[in-house]
Amino acid sequence: MTFDAFFNEKLDGLKKEGRYRVFMDLERHAGQFPRATRHVDGVQKPVTVWCSNDYLGMGQHPKVLAAMHEALDACGAGAGGTRNISGTNHYHVLLEQELADLHGKEAALLFNSGYMSNWTTLSTLASGLPDALVLSDAGNHASMIEGIRHSKAEKIIFKHNDMAELESHLKQHAGKRSIIIAFESVYSMDGDFGKIAEIVALAERYGAMTYLDEVHGVGLYGPRGGGLAEKLGLMDRIDVIEGTLAKAYGVVGGYITGSAALIDYVRSFASGFIFSSALPPAVAAGACAAIQHLKSSQAEREALVARVAEVRAGLDRMGIPTLPNPSHIVPVMVGDAAKCKWISDYLLEHDGIYIQPINYPTVARGKERLRITPQPCHAAEDIAHLLVSLNALWKQCALARAVA
- CA distance linking residue 4 with residue 312, whole number of Å: 45
What's the DSSP call for residue 366?
A: T
Please say whether the beta carbons of 18 and 342 come within 8 A.
yes
Name the active-site residue from 105, 247, 341, 367: 247
- The amino acid that residue 212 corresponds to is L
- The amino acid that residue 125 corresponds to is L
Angle formed by the axes of helices 380-396 and 299-318, nearest 10° = 30
Please say whether the beta carbons of 191 and 328 come within 8 A.
yes
Please state, in angstroms and as integers, the Cα–Cα distance from residue 277 to each residue in 79, 113, 344, 360, following that order.
Answer: 7, 12, 37, 33
Q: Which of 140, 123, 139, 210 is nearest to 170 (CA)?
A: 210
- CA distance linking residue 210 with residue 373, whole number of Å: 29
* Catalytic-residue membership of 195: no
Q: Which of 373, 349, 370 is nearest to 359 (CA)?
A: 370
- CA distance linking residue 184 with residue 194, whole number of Å: 6
Could you tell me where the beta strands, DSSP code E, fall in 173-278?
Answer: 178-184, 209-213, 240-244, 254-258
- Catalytic (active-site) positions: 247
